[in-house]
């Protein structure tokens, strides 16, 4: 007994690590963190099309328009069977897979610069939202700045 006491007092104090072992916890937490970071990077960022809301009585967007009436292009969207077609000025029809975009681009090129142009999209009641968005996207691609939606016919 006396010998062991002697040994202890003579030797240096060894710093023993007392407490829980953090290594597995750090491992697990790191895995969770990497999972969240990768998960958030896989989510594709949102993509937006912005449009002014329709002018209604009492709304803020009920503003006076230009004194000179702008050139107006009316695009009627109608459902034919399972697909939607666009009825253009002059009763010309175009599908939404590319013909409409071509028409709008050509129309934009043909217009006199500086003349204000308004494009009205008039979908019928049953036109799916995706076709309305496609038409609007084609208008933006053709660089029309003023594009508005008409309410569906009653």
Chain residues binding another protein by CB under 8 A are 11-12, 14-17, 22, 25-26, 29-30, 32-33, 36-37, 40, 44-56, 58-62, 77, 123-130, 132-134, 136-137, 140-141, 149, 151-152
- Return the DSSP state at 112: P
For the CB of residue 20, give the shortest distance to another protein in the complex, in Å. Answer: 11
What is the Cα–Cα distance from 106 to 109, expressed in whole angstroms? Answer: 5
Residue (16 or 112) nearer to another protein, CB: 16
To the nearest whole angstrom, how small is the minimum distance from the Cβ of residue 119 to another protein? 14
Compare residues 42 and 112 and give the one whose CB is closer to another protein: 42
Closest CA to 73 of 92, 47, 57, 59: 92
- The CB-of-136 to another protein minimum distance in angstroms stands at 7
Identify which of residues 46 and 112 has a Cβ nearer to another protein in the complex: 46
Closest to another protein by CB, 70 vs 126, is 126
* Residue in 79, 123, 75, 124 with CA at minimum distance from that of residue 101: 75
CB of 101 to another protein, least distance (A): 9
β-pair type (71-80, 83-88)? antiparallel
CB 70 within 8 A of CB 117: yes
8 A C-beta contact, residue 93 and residue 122: no
């Amino acid at each position: 007994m006396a010998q062991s006491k002697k040994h202890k007092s003579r030797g240096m104090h060894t710093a023993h690590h007392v407490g829980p072992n953090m290594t597995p916890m750090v491992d697990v937490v790191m895995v969770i963190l990497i999972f969240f970071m990768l998960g958030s990077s896989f989510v594709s960022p949102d993509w937006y099309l912005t449009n002014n809301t329709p002018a209604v009585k009492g709304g803020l967007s009920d503003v006076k328009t230009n004194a000179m009436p702008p050139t107006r292009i009316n695009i009627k969207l109608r459902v034919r069977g399972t697909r939607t077609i666009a009825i253009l000025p002059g009763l010309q029809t175009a599908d939404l897979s590319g013909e409409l975009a071509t028409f709008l681009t050509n129309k934009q090129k043909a217009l006199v610069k500086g003349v204000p142009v308004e494009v009205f999209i008039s979908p019928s009641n049953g036109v799916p939202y995706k076709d309305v968005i496609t038409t609007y996207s084609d208008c933006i691609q053709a660089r029309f700045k003023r594009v508005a939606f008409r309410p569906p016919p009653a």
